[in-house]
Amino acid sequence: MDSSERSTIRSEQKSRKFLKSLIRKQPRDLLLVIGTGVSAAVAPGIPALCSWRSCIEAVIEAAEQLEVLHPGDVAEFRKKVIKDRDLLVVAHDLIRKMSPRTGDTKPNFFQDCLMEVFDNLEQHIQNPVVLQSILRLMERGTMVLTTNYDNLLEIFGQQQGKPMESLDLKDKDKVLQWARGHIKYGVLHIHGLYTDPCGMVLDPSGYKDVTQDPEVMEVLQNLYRTKSFLFLGCGETLRDQIFQALFLYTVKNKVDLEHYMLVLKENEDHFFKLQADMLLHGIKVVSYGDCFKQFPEYVQDLTAQICKQRSPDADRVDSTTLLGTSCVDCAKRKLGENGTDSSKRIKQSDNGILTI
């Protein structure tokens, strides 16, 4: 993108209106759900990050190159990627084929393929604008979870000196700490992380222990009831069986909630139908534009608007607050009105404390 295109996009972004109900949220009241769109914007040089379809295709290619999948199976899965609409089902079938012992932590070829696909991620970060915005919100208390296998956010955050931590659902203690707000720079990977084969959940059945743990489910579902989820770069997330099990279909009275989803508006009819459908889940669908290139700048501007909001605690003054310079004249006047002896002179020390 050259400077003129960037300037044009920026001018379009500045004129765009933001939902007041969103930009007036305090960062600590938000929970970001990061999808493949974020990774695609940050590292466009890795096709596997662009979408579920691209990721599946890359894994199939890696499986063929590593010879961990029969040629007949390779051909069959390539057909499925083209024909099948439900790519998550295709992904799960592919995972099962290369990991017949799903649900445990034994070795599997799927993880090897992901290692091949996502090798040297740090070298492919080209457009960190979205990651910078996410870190800015995290600094102010926003929580983050992702459906992505990659750890681009953690890599970038560590480069910025942040104590980033990748979490997965199988570590109950860490999940509980994160959900209760005790891990400020924690990123919860609900599908696991490609670098940790033991933490990866390779099939929906692998979540059984999580969904059957009442303590974990309660704290996670409480987030969906008390936070405003902001979906960034999420195309298939709401169809994801794990997200549905954790949040979407298990929390009651969703229509009373207020969540947000940023989407690309390619087709007006589809966009407005999606808006109507998502309101039933308590989700407000918002367009960031009709071109994916507008996504990073929109997130940047949205973050700036949210971070401009003053915290409710900012105006709170307790009894220990010291009188500052601006209060000197007021204090003099009040003392004078009360007939205070003029010989008791008001003095102000260097640290702003008034003495008589």
Q: Judge if 190 and 115 occupy the same domain.
A: no
> Is residue 352 included in any domain, yes or no?
no
| Mean pLDDT on 290-313 | 88
Domain range for 159 is 20-45+126-308
> What's the total number of domains in the chain?
2
- DSSP-assigned states of every residue in 318-354: -TTPPP-GGGHHHHHHHHHHTT--TTS--EE-TTS-E
> Is residue 75 included in any domain, yes or no?
yes
Q: Judge if 86 and 183 occupy the same domain.
A: no
Cα 343 to Cα 356: distance, rounded to the nearest angstrom: 10
The number of beta carbons lying within 10 Å of the beta carbon of residue 70 is: 12
**Vertex 72 angle, CA 69 and 73, to 5°:** 50
**Domain termination residue (choose one: 90, 123, 156):** 123
Q: Judge if 257 and 270 occupy the same domain.
A: yes
Q: Judge if 87 and 153 occupy the same domain.
A: no
Q: Judge if 148 and 237 occupy the same domain.
A: yes
Q: Judge if 111 and 142 occupy the same domain.
A: no
> Is residue 225 included in any domain, yes or no?
yes
> Is residue 28 included in any domain, yes or no?
yes
- DSSP-assigned states of every residue in 134-155: HHHHHHTT-EEEES-S--HHHH
**Domain termination residue (choose one: 91, 123, 155):** 123
What pLDDT, on the 0 to 100 scale, is given for residue 249? 66
Instruction: Give the CATH number for residue 274.
Output: 3.40.50
Burial class from Cβ neighbours inside 10 Å (0-12, 13-18, 19+) for residue 330 reads exposed
320 confidence band (pLDDT: 50, 70, 90): very low
pLDDT at residue 247 tops 90: no
DSSP letter assigned to residue 209: H
N-terminal to C-terminal alpha carbon distance within the chain: 64
Beta-ladder partners of 284: 260
Q: Pick the residue with more confidence: 9 or 107?
A: 107
Q: Judge if 302 and 225 occupy the same domain.
A: yes
| Cβ–Cβ under 8 Å, residues 178 and 258 | no
Q: Rg (Cα) of the chain, in Å, rounded?
A: 25
Q: Judge if 142 and 252 occupy the same domain.
A: yes
> Is residue 6 included in any domain, yes or no?
no
Q: Whose CA is closest to 288, among 307, 266, 272, 265?
A: 265
> Is residue 178 included in any domain, yes or no?
yes
348 confidence band (pLDDT: 50, 70, 90): very low
Q: Judge if 274 and 300 occupy the same domain.
A: yes
> Is residue 334 included in any domain, yes or no?
no
**Vertex 114 angle, CA 113 and 115, to 5°:** 90
What pLDDT, on the 0 to 100 scale, is given for residue 48? 84
pLDDT tens across 100-151, in order? Answer: 655 555 567 887 888 888 888 888 899 999 999 999 999 999 999 998 889 9
Q: Judge if 290 and 273 occupy the same domain.
A: yes
Q: Whose CA is closest to 157, among 144, 174, 147, 168?
A: 144
Q: Where are the alpha helices (DSSP H) in the chain?
A: 3-15, 20-23, 36-42, 52-66, 71-83, 87-98, 109-117, 129-139, 152-159, 172-179, 208-211, 214-226, 241-243, 268-279, 294-307, 328-337
Instruction: Report pTM.
Output: 0.76
Beta-ladder partners of 186: 165
Q: Judge if 173 and 300 occupy the same domain.
A: yes
Laid out side by side, the sheet with 30-34 consists of 165-168, 186-189, 143-146, 30-34, 228-232, 259-264, 283-289
| Mean pLDDT on 23-44 | 93
pLDDT at residue 227 tops 90: yes
| Max Cα–Cα distance, the chain, nearest Å | 100
